[in-house]
Amino acid sequence: MTGVPTGAITDPEWDSGQVSLQQREGRGVSMSTSPAITISPQFRTLDGVRVRYADSGAAREPTLLLTSPWPESIYAFAAIWDSLAAHARLFAIDLPGFGGSQRRDDLLSPRAMGDFLAAVIVEADLGTPHIVAPDVGTSAALFAAASHPDRIASVIVGTGGAAVPLQLGEPLRSWVLDPDLEKYRRIDPQVIVDTAVGTIAGGIPDEVHADYRASYAGDRFVESMRYARRYPEELPALAGLLAQIDTPVTIINGLHDRVVPVANAEFLDERLPASRAVLIDAGHFVWEEAPNEYAAAVLDAVTATS
């Protein structure tokens, strides 16, 4: 998907008129409550889009390409960053239209985002990475594995819509299927973000919460909904490709996920030729609710396929 981008490009700093200090200056979050957090975001252009990313920088194999969940950002990986960085090079990105990255309208679909991930691997010189793509990244990473299997060592997904017919809990089901998108423009996006991340057992650091809010300010959240609203069209297409994906796939899901029920993980596990499912005693935001277990599952998956 390299070449001149054809979709409209928007910048979060201009979109919303709001941007966090970390986004503006490219610095890591200073955590008074969690001083060990070492994510330091930067910006670069990848496949024609200004992307916020973090690179652990170590010349260490293997490499993990991590993609931001929704409505969060790369700071969703703060609790597992050091655990994973001790064993691999980490390259985390906010997907276009999510977190602190620019939006490009033609990328707001799982299939197009899969091609974007494949382009990122080449442009960022990541070799043959393992893709860690929870939540909205699930379908994109699987599309990438179907179209560009030679670029990917393994895929680690989960908590993302996959089942056909759709099996989604609220509020995601409404976000995907509600015919009236415009009414969401009248809702304060901070309320939406606060409600979503307010379900995280144990909570999250205030500074991380603030970044999530800034990431979806203005029209950023309602425009990001367009990606998930492609599920009814694109998940059936993905389902038809699953049997052809030989890339090893690990599906990590919260056992008590009411937003993306376990049925989605089971749907993938039953149809992928080289997969295994890992269920963790947590809700939807399993990477933050059970970070030790999530990191261990990721490293187990990487070790098994290295």
Which residues are bridge partners to 52 per DSSP?
A: 43
20-34, 117-131, 178-192, 260-274: which range is least confident on average? 20-34
Residue pair 45/63 in contact (Cβ under 8 Å)? The answer is no
Side-by-side strand order, sheet with 130-132: 42-46, 49-55, 89-93, 63-67, 130-132, 154-157, 249-254, 275-280
pLDDT at 37: 57
Residue 81: pLDDT band with limits 50, 70, 90: very high
Report strand pairing: 89-93 vs 275-280.
Answer: unpaired
Helix (H) or strand (E) holding 112: helix 110-123
pLDDT tens digit string along 54-79?
A: 999 867 789 999 999 999 999 999 99
Please, are residues 281 and 71 in contact by the beta-carbon 8 Å criterion? no
99 pLDDT higher than 50: yes
The model's pLDDT over 198-237, given as tens digits with 9 standing for 90+, comes to: 999 999 999 999 999 999 999 999 999 999 999 999 999 9
Per residue in 6-57, pLDDT (tens digit) is: 344 444 443 433 333 333 334 343 333 344 557 889 999 999 999 999 999 8
What's the CATH fold of domain 9-305?
Rossmann fold (3.40.50)
Residue 301 has pLDDT above 70, yes or no: yes
pTM of the model: 0.89
pLDDT at position 94 is 98
Round to the nearest angstrom and report the end-to-end CA distance of the chain.
27
Percentage of the chain beyond pLDDT 90 is: 84
- Cβ atoms < 10 Å from Cβ of 218: 16
Tell me the two tokens of residue 37: 């957090």
pLDDT of 88 over the 50 cut:
yes
User: Once rounded to an integer, what is the mean pLDDT over residues 187-208?
Assistant: 94
Tokens of 200: 């995280």
Over residues 156-184, the pLDDT tens digits come to: 999 999 999 999 999 999 999 999 999 99
pLDDT number for residue 14 = 32
Residue-level pLDDT at 12: 43
Cα distance between residue 235 and residue 193, in whole Å: 25
- Sorted by where each begins, the domain ranges of the chain are 9-305
Q: Which residue has the tokens 């699930």?
A: 138
Using alpha carbons, list the distances in angstroms from residue 164 to 158, 233, 280, 282.
15, 10, 23, 24
- What does the mean pLDDT of the chain come to? 89
Q: Where are the beta strands (DSSP E) in 124-224?
A: 130-132, 154-157
Nearest to 228 by CA among 113, 74, 121: 113
Per-residue model confidence (pLDDT) at position 107: 98
85: pLDDT strictly greater than 90? yes
The DSSP bridge pattern shows strands 154-157 and 42-46 to be unpaired
**Is 50 strand, coil or helix?**
strand
